[in-house]
Amino acid sequence: MTPDVTVVGGGAIGLAVAWRAAQRGLTTVVADPAPGTGATHAAAGMLAPITEVHYGEVPLLGLNLDSARRWPDFSAELETAADCSIGYRSEGTVAVAFDDDDVRALDALVQFQGQLDLPVERLGSRECRSLEPSLSPRVRGGALVTGDHQVEPRALTTALVRACDGVGVEFVRRAVTAVGPGPRVRLDGDDVLESRSVVVAAGWRSAALVDIPVRPVKGQILRLRGDVSSLLTRTVRGLSHGVSVYLVPRANGELVVGATVEERGADTTVTAGAVRELLDAAVDLVPGVSELEFSETSTGLRPGTPDNAPLLGRAPGEDDVWVATGHFRNGILLTPVTADVMADLVTGSDPPAIARSFDLERFA
Ligand SMILES: Cc1cc2nc3c(=O)[nH]c(=O)nc-3n(C[C@H](O)[C@H](O)[C@H](O)COP(=O)(O)OP(=O)(O)OC[C@H]3O[C@@H](n4cnc5c(N)ncnc54)[C@H](O)[C@@H]3O)c2cc1C
């Protein structure tokens, strides 16, 4: 029987799209040689519409906030469907600054966030340390952002695969070498898989399958282990001597320290310089980090677009081929809204108005 939809790519985005599509009664296939091994595997899992707001990205903010609002229900529904935790935590985030220039940058950001009516509370050095006593006394000040949360991306993909299994999604563990013409994909080995529609959600590699402006943006990230719960209770993001770093504590004793943002094409080398820069900044802000065990370095390639916002819509020149990629720094945050929007599109329903600005027409 011809499936209703083939989703190309089983990262957070493709898996969530497949889950939602199957929940709406569509027979759904996910084609991916290794689901969950792309950028999602490297990601820190911050759900951070507020601390991630960047000058020039105000349209994206609305979509990020919309998806953040969907996260509590999405998480609860997924954990029930998959019968496992995805590590959703809502303790909030403290953004901190180490030296005078860092404080000036923080103040400018807090002012910008205030102009956008985002809930941010400016804190002095002592207030930061009363929230997180492990912060260095040299931290000059900060801001509390209760609305920025976190999830564990690796647990998220495990749960999504289980949830997909639960609603009958079929997994084809092979790479797609071509998409189209029309809703068909060519698999490695040259078989063709026909379906009624195709959703291309292969992260940065989507650009090899459809004509879209997506490029890989390298991110190096570290994982440490130890008594993390007595070190930090919430995510700390900060600037130290101009270097941006975040520390994301997990309940399982892992501390994620990230991340670089590098335009180096598809290079995935872990460099000594990046490891040193991230660790130096992390130890400046939270000296106790130096006592933790070093457990992992990794690199992920974010799917970047010219305006840093995702591509959610019809592929150029195709009626039944859709694209869901380009989520850049916010793919985990944007997973719930992307899944709902794409399920609307493939079932012929109207997506929420907020999603319309993110179709591919803007680069036509
Ligand atoms: C270091 C780092 C930290 C990050 N931190 C955060 C964060 O804190 N919060 C946040 O929201 N986002 C974060 N991101 C961004 C986030 O990881 C991405 O936006 C998101 O994972 C993109 O998901 P995806 O499913 O589109 O792509 P991917 O996770 O890359 O998945 C793509 C999938 O497609 C498959 N695939 C590729 N080519 C083919 C093919 N030809 N045929 C079949 N399958 C194919 C791959 O095997 C892979 O499974 C971070 C990214 C990095 C690199």
Q: What is the pLDDT of residues 233-278, one digit of tens each?
A: 999 999 999 999 999 999 999 999 999 999 999 999 999 999 999 9
**Judgement on whether residues 159 and 291 belong to the same structural domain of the protein:** no
Whether the full predicted model's pTM is greater than 0.85, yes or no, is: yes
For residues 112-150, one letter each, b for 16 or more C-beta atoms within 10 angstroms of the residue's C-beta and e for the rest, the string is: ebeeeebebebbebeebbebbebbbeebbbbbbbebbbb
Q: How does DSSP assign 41-94, residue by residue?
A: HH---EE-TTTT--TT-HHHHHHHHHHHHHHHHHHHHHHHHHTS----B-S-EE
pLDDT tens for residues 96-114? 999 999 999 999 999 999 9
**Beta carbon of 149 within 6 Å of any ligand 1 atom:** no
Take atom 12 of ligand 1 and give the residue whose Cα is closest.
Answer: 330
**Judgement on whether residues 222 and 300 belong to the same structural domain of the protein:** yes
Collapse the DSSP code of 121 into the 3-class scheme (helix H, G, I; strand E, B; otherwise coil) and give the result.
strand
Which residue range(s) make up the domain with 244? Answer: 93-146+216-304
Take atom 3 of ligand 1 and give the residue whose Cα is closest.
Answer: 43
**Beta carbon of 141 within 6 Å of any ligand 1 atom:** no
- Beta partners for residue 297, in sequence order: 222
Domain edge (last residue) among 282, 304, 326? 304
Mean pLDDT of 122-131: 97
**Closest ligand 1 atom, CA of 331?**
19
Specify the DSSP element, H or E, that contains 246. Answer: strand 243-249
**Judgement on whether residues 178 and 268 belong to the same structural domain of the protein:** no
**Judgement on whether residues 163 and 132 belong to the same structural domain of the protein:** no
Q: How many structural domains comprise the chain?
A: 2
